[in-house]
Amino acid sequence: MQLSDSFYKSRKLVDLVENQTSYILEDSAMHIFETHSRAEMVQLQFTTPVLASMFRGKKVMHLRDKPSFEFLPGESLILPANELMSIDFPEAQEDNPTRCLAMEIGEERLRSVIRLMNECMTRPDGNEWNILDYNFHFTNDQSIYQILQRLVYLYTENHPAKDSFVSNMIQELIIRILQVDTRKTFQTKTKELASDYRLAYVVQYIRDNICNPLTIKELSKEACMSESHFYKVFKQEMGISPTDFINEERIQKATQLLANPMYNLKEVFLACGFTNRSYFNRMFKRIKGINPSKYRNRFA
């Protein structure tokens, strides 16, 4: 993720550890933290819910009721208000700083977006959308990455309509994060939910048939829905189209097979349901940011 020129012009480096540059708006704030020296157990706390997202380097996070974990570029973390973080910076250097943003979003702002979702985006399982109340750690998809990149630009520019621009982007960000949370729930608890939730059943069906051709017609039949209704419900609930979800599942399976030298690349892409290598290469690079051969070299 790129920081704008206006950020570098306005920020002042005062501290080597968690140097903070802040941009405060009416119902939100963005803080960009830079660490230029290795450090351990640095404590940080916010009085409002926070979205933290890594730009560069590595942190090791120590949170209440959660095992310690690495926090890496391309990942985000939702933290409830008053969550005390203890952070290690094992790789930070003066010429290679660790960078992270933390975005505070007011609770009333969160509630207003969730009320809107419950009015306009009714869930097929009858449940309501709710505020995340736990430490949710996830990998940014392309849509969330682009929103965060845009927000960094908006917060750091000097524009009279900045508050309005940011407010609209935050609304989209909250919706997409809640969809990611739903998607992750269906992915990690598929078997437990499959008997009660049609989309969880479809996710399990996709996984069981990942090496075979899969169509919207086939999946909508399994979900007992029309094709148009299935597509709409799936995208609304999961945040991505069925086709994109199938490709993500196939690439996830491919990463597991690529770690095993027993499989050559042709065996890998065929086992994951791809019919030609060029399309497999394109999807792998789009989702993982690296081609399959380079990914495999990590395990050599």
pLDDT tens sequence across 217-276: 999 998 888 999 888 888 888 888 999 999 989 998 999 899 888 889 999 999 999 998
Determine the structural domain holding residue 291 and report its residue range: 189-297
Mean pLDDT, the chain, as a whole number? 86
Write down the pLDDT at residue 224: 86
pLDDT for 82-107, tens place per residue? 999 999 999 999 889 999 999 999 88
Read off the pLDDT band of 68 (50, 70, 90). Answer: very high
CA distance 164 to 9: 24
226 and 178 in a common domain: no
Q: What percent of the chain has pLDDT over 90?
A: 42
Q: How many residues does the chain have?
A: 300
77 and 104 in a common domain: yes
Write down the pLDDT at residue 70: 92
174 and 56 in a common domain: yes
220 and 179 in a common domain: no
Based on its alpha-carbon atoms, the radius of gyration of the chain, rounded to whole angstroms, reads: 21
Compute, in degrees rounded to 10, the torsion defined by CA atoms 153, 155, 158, 163.
Answer: 120
pTM of the model: 0.69
180 and 167 in a common domain: yes
pLDDT for 32-55, tens place per residue? 999 999 999 999 999 999 999 999
137 and 197 in a common domain: no
Provide the number of structural domains found in the chain: 2
268 and 128 in a common domain: no
Residues 6+ apart with CB under 8 A from 200: 186, 189, 190, 193, 194
Is 156 a residue whose pLDDT tops 60? yes
Check residues 205 and 135 and name the one with the higher pLDDT: 205
139 and 106 in a common domain: yes
173 and 121 in a common domain: yes
Domain boundary residue, one of 166, 187, 208: 187
Domain boundary residue, one of 187, 213, 248: 187
151 and 30 in a common domain: yes
CA distance 226 to 143: 27
65 and 19 in a common domain: yes
